[in-house]
Structure 1
Amino acid sequence: MALPRRKSLTTALRRPRFRLDSQQRLALLCLALTLISLATLAHFNLFRLWACIAVLAGALVLWLAISWSLKPLRREILALNLHAQNLQDGSFNTSANQLYVNELAPLASSLSTMSAELRAERASLYQRELLLDTVLQSSPTAFVLTSDNGTVLMCNPAACQLLNRGKNFSGSKLASLNTLNRQLHQALANRQQGLIRLDNNGQSVWHLSVSKFQLNQQQHWLYLLKPLTREIQREELNAWKKLLRVIGHELNNTLAPLSSLAFSGKQIAEQRQQPELTRLFDTVSDRCLHLNQFVQAYINFAKLPPPKITEINWPRLINQLQDQFEFELLGDLPKRPWLADPQQLAQLLVNLLKNADESGSAPEHISLRCIERTDELQLQITDGGGGIAAELMNQVLVPFYSSKPQGSGIGLTLCRDIAEAHGGNISLRNLTRLVDSHDISGLEVTVHLPVTDSTATPTSGPH
């Protein structure tokens, strides 16, 4: 059995059983001096009444004099103690009363410097927390912080929208949410990091990352769900464009000599009066021309230039569209000045109106509506062509996919490319409307164009 260690003499001396304040120490000092003086008088046989009274009076005067001399120092110490207590309570805007501080001025200055530094650090920490909160609230990444037992401590709006239909679920168990997709529920329960595909969500591809860390001496779990659909679609589109440029280059190198040979052969056939060869070379020339136009259409899609931003003249744009297609303009035109590339925006709307016209919809069921929001402009084009099958909704924006026999499959893809070049996007949904007591089913395509800093105060552009 191990014996307990003995405390050292130094440790015992450092921990007195009782403490005396300065006032008590002064009283003991004066008492000791008085006793020494009385003992001295008794030793020299001078112990008289008047001598004792003189010694006692001198001790009292000494005690009063020392107390009076130390009174300013006690005031300084009291002021510094109050300052230190304010620092301990987290009040960094106060300082010691400079009227009471003289001998301990260096210590008071050090405390004031400490207060200023703590005040600056707290302000900086507050700004960082405010910035972090703003980023979390506006971030599209879903953020969920839980305790070790799975209780949700914090979640941002993106997480509420993805996991609980927009409702805050702080304080509940993460595993108890009944609105989760089966794949997402399984991934969160197993803390399985990686890509997750959600077929019933606008953002169908997400990346889940899970990390464990200690906060306030307790274990916590951090779940981050980042949307990757647009990034994947953008990379896919860039891959298609690169492939188109390579194929277009090779086809142009082949079509140029073929067209030249067909033209030369036709002239020789006409000189030798051989109509069959002439028709043959005409067919070859026509097919080369058609193939060249077909390739050029894809090359133009692959080489979409950056938008040239200027103010949109909405009456002129609508008149140009109505010269090409028949549709009904619902509501008013945008009243605020909106900036975009007029040619690219016109091309986008032409493609959408062309799709609506080719959907089999009656012209009177095709409409265009402009909706101004505080943060974006929505251009809604609706038709009565029956809509798109649910299983094909996610494929219509894929390059080269088309449900039309003669379709090229780049119309909607080009529209999405133009919208994303302006910082926006395109959304599609099937819609059933009541028109003249009849239910008309069709497709509603909405172009979302975000507001920019220069939208409110444009510097140039036609009116």
Structure 2
Amino acid sequence: MASMRPDRYFRPAKLTSQSRLNLICAALTVLALILQQYYLGPDTALTAGICLFFIVLALLLQRAVQPLQREIQALILHAQNLQDGSFNTNANQLKMHELKPLADSLNQMSAQLRTERATLYQRELLLDTVLQSSPTALLLTDAANTVLMSNPAARVLLHQGKAFDGSKLATVATDKPELHNALNSRQQGLIRLDNAEQSVWHLSVSQFQLNQKLHWLYLLKPLTREIQREELNAWKKLLRVIGHELNNTLAPLSSLAFSGKTMADQQHLAALSQLFDTISERCLHLNQFVQAYIQFAKLPTPKLAPVNWPRLINQLQDQYDFELLGQLPALQWQADPQQLTQLLLNILKNAHESGSPPEHISLRLLEQNNLLTLCIQDGGGGIPAEVLQHVLIPFYTSKTTGSGIGLTLCRDIIEAHGGTISLRNNAGGLLVSLTLPRPDGC
């Protein structure tokens, strides 16, 4: 059996500095008394003097050590405050003499921690603001697929705007099967949602360790607008190429038809002259058709200027009948006058062509500090749901004589101004909402 170490059972208590000084004074007193007895013999007065001397010495040493003890206590208190996360206190500089370098180091540490905590707080506040206002839907779950955090965009997309933190991931987005399956299978990539304002989303999933526990982060980014913009740019590029080729063909055809008609007239060939007239007429119509598409493909950058609302409303009412509801904007708003007029004329034209009575067509302008909403309502019965989700696609039309660029041009104009367009069936007709942001400096 191994031998027991004595110090495992007996450990002398640690003495304070004051106790050590008192022991030293006591030991010196005993030593002085022994020397007195050995060299001088018994002497009561001398013995009393020796004892009194060392008592006074002990008191003086105690008094001398007290400032150092107060400095130590102040530093201990400061260290405790730092440990508790209170970085706004400093060691009392008026009491620091012997330990002043240590106090300065603690104060510097406290100032640095205070600065770093303020910076960290600002970063956390910025991150929270970004997450709360981001259009990207964010979900954080633990290893058991319990939702720990979600931002407003996620709540709107997955749970009708209601909070669902603490729920299982399998219980959300049940009304959107494509999205529900992608989340639960962690299938990254594009997701298309039917009958949704934002129909195209990109899901990315990542895992990481947080507090030594596995977590999953889901990010759903709306890509509808980006994809539509790319599609529109592709259509415009195609239109420019086709327009160029058609123009190169139509110009000589028109010239040949004119020359042929002239020769037919000279030879009094009425039937042939009429044939060349028909060719010229069709070339002219085709050229006008192509020019309309080319104009859409080459929409210039808006030239912003203050909008004269009374003049604009009068110009619109000269073309189409409608009722103006509410007041005109009181603030100054900027837009390209020609493009804004063309945009509203296209929408009013569609409203009249929907079969709506003119008295049921209205325009209302809703003004906020930094956003103006133009609402055009008709009473034409609305648009079927399967058609409504495609009306902003270039060349898509339900009209037999339509070109399919009217509403696409409207979307292109309003987005060039930094705004948005939305269409929905409302009150027995179609409601078109246009948002126009207020430029900085207005």
Do both share a fold (TM > 0.5)?
yes
1:215 aligned to 2:210? yes
Displacement after TM superposition at 1:180 (Å):
4.3
**1:282-315 per-position Cα deviation (integer Å, ceiling 9, x unaligned):** 2222122111111111111111111111211111
Q: Residues 174 and 373 (structure 1 numbering): CA distance in 2 closer, same or farther, change over 3 Å?
A: farther
Aligned match of 1:450 in 420, 437, 442? 437
Q: Could you say which residue in structure 2 is the equivalent of 1:324?
A: 319
Displacement after TM superposition at 1:240 (Å):
0.5
Q: Could you say which residue in structure 2 is the equivalent of 1:239?
A: 234
Letter in 1 for 2:382: G
1:34 aligned to 2:29? yes
Unaligned runs of 5+ in 1: 433-440, 459-463
Letter in 2 for 1:366: I
Q: Could you say which residue in structure 1 is the equivalent of 2:57?
A: 62
Per mean C-alpha deviation after superposition, the further-off stretch among 219-228 and 413-422 is 219-228
**1:410-438 per-position Cα deviation (integer Å, ceiling 9, x unaligned):** 00000011111111111111123xxxxxx
Aligned match of 1:229 in 221, 224, 233? 224
1:137 aligned to 2:132? yes
Q: Residues 179 and 375 (structure 1 numbering): CA distance in 2 closer, same or farther, change over 3 Å?
A: farther
Q: Could you say which residue in structure 2 is the equivalent of 1:356?
A: 351
Instruction: Describe the SS at the equivalent of 1:213.
Output: strand
**1:384-429 per-position Cα deviation (integer Å, ceiling 9, x unaligned):** 2221111111111110111111110000000011111111111111
Report runs of 4+ in structure 1 exceeding 6 Å deviation: none
Q: Is the Cα contact below 8 Å between 1:331 and 1:369 reproduced in 2?
A: yes
Distance in 1 of aligned mates of 2:403 and 2:11? 95
Map residues 330-409 of structure 1 onto 2, 5 A cutoff: 330-409=325-404
**1:241-270 per-position Cα deviation (integer Å, ceiling 9, x unaligned):** 111111111111111222222222222222
Aligned match of 2:246 in 251, 255, 262? 251
Letter in 1 for 2:48: I
Displacement after TM superposition at 1:157 (Å):
1.0
Q: Could you say which residue in structure 2 is the equivalent of 1:417?
A: 412
Aligned match of 1:201 in 179, 196, 205? 196
Aligned match of 1:91 in 78, 86, 91? 86
1:282 aligned to 2:277? yes
Distance in 1 of aligned mates of 2:392 and 2:49? 111
Per mean C-alpha deviation after superposition, the further-off stretch among 260-269 and 233-242 is 260-269
Q: Could you say which residue in structure 1 is the equivalent of 2:95?
A: 100
Per mean C-alpha deviation after superposition, the further-off stretch among 223-232 and 48-57 is 48-57
Q: Could you say which residue in structure 2 is the equivalent of 1:461?
A: none
Distance in 1 of aligned mates of 2:364 and 2:163? 34
Distance in 1 of aligned mates of 2:440 and 2:234? 32
Displacement after TM superposition at 1:376 (Å):
2.1
Q: Residues 180 and 45 (structure 1 numbering): CA distance in 2 closer, same or farther, change over 3 Å?
A: farther
TM-score, normalisation: structure 1: 0.89
Q: Could you say which residue in structure 2 is the equivalent of 1:314?
A: 309
Unaligned runs of 5+ in 2: none
Letter in 2 for 1:372: E
Aligned match of 2:294 in 299, 310, 320? 299
Aligned match of 1:189 in 184, 189, 192? 184
Aligned length: 439
Instruction: Describe the SS at the equivalent of 1:209.
Output: strand
1:157 aligned to 2:162? no
Distance in 2 of aligned mates of 1:343 and 1:68? 92
Instruction: Describe the SS at the equivalent of 1:263.
Output: helix
Displacement after TM superposition at 1:364 (Å):
2.0
Distance in 2 of aligned mates of 1:18 and 1:296? 101
Displacement after TM superposition at 1:375 (Å):
4.3
Q: Is the Cα contact below 8 Å between 2:195 and 2:389 reproduced in 1?
A: no
Q: Is the Cα contact below 8 Å between 1:427 and 1:445 reproduced in 2?
A: yes
**1:189-224 per-position Cα deviation (integer Å, ceiling 9, x unaligned):** 222211112213211111111211122222222111
Q: Is the Cα contact below 8 Å between 1:165 and 1:179 reproduced in 2?
A: no
Instruction: Describe the SS at the equivalent of 1:286.
Output: helix
Q: Is the Cα contact below 8 Å between 1:310 and 1:340 reproduced in 2?
A: yes
Q: Could you say which residue in structure 2 is the equivalent of 1:436?
A: none
Displacement after TM superposition at 1:239 (Å):
0.6
Distance in 2 of aligned mates of 1:147 and 1:451? 42
Identity, % of aligned pairs?
Answer: 65
RMSD of aligned C-alpha atoms? 2.3
Per mean C-alpha deviation after superposition, the further-off stretch among 373-382 and 419-428 is 373-382
Letter in 2 for 1:257: P
Distance in 1 of aligned mates of 2:255 and 2:111? 84
Q: Is the Cα contact below 8 Å between 1:38 and 1:47 reproduced in 2?
A: no
Q: Is the Cα contact below 8 Å between 2:174 and 2:180 reproduced in 1?
A: no
Displacement after TM superposition at 1:16 (Å):
6.4
Distance in 1 of aligned mates of 2:163 and 2:98? 58
Distance in 2 of aligned mates of 1:132 and 1:187? 27
Displacement after TM superposition at 1:139 (Å):
0.6
Distance in 2 of aligned mates of 1:153 and 1:375? 34
Distance in 2 of aligned mates of 1:36 and 1:255? 128
Q: Is the Cα contact below 8 Å between 1:164 and 1:180 reproduced in 2?
A: no
Letter in 1 for 2:53: G
Q: Could you say which residue in structure 1 is the equivalent of 2:123?
A: 128
1:427 aligned to 2:418? no
Instruction: Describe the SS at the equivalent of 2:118.
Output: helix
Distance in 1 of aligned mates of 2:208 and 2:34? 72
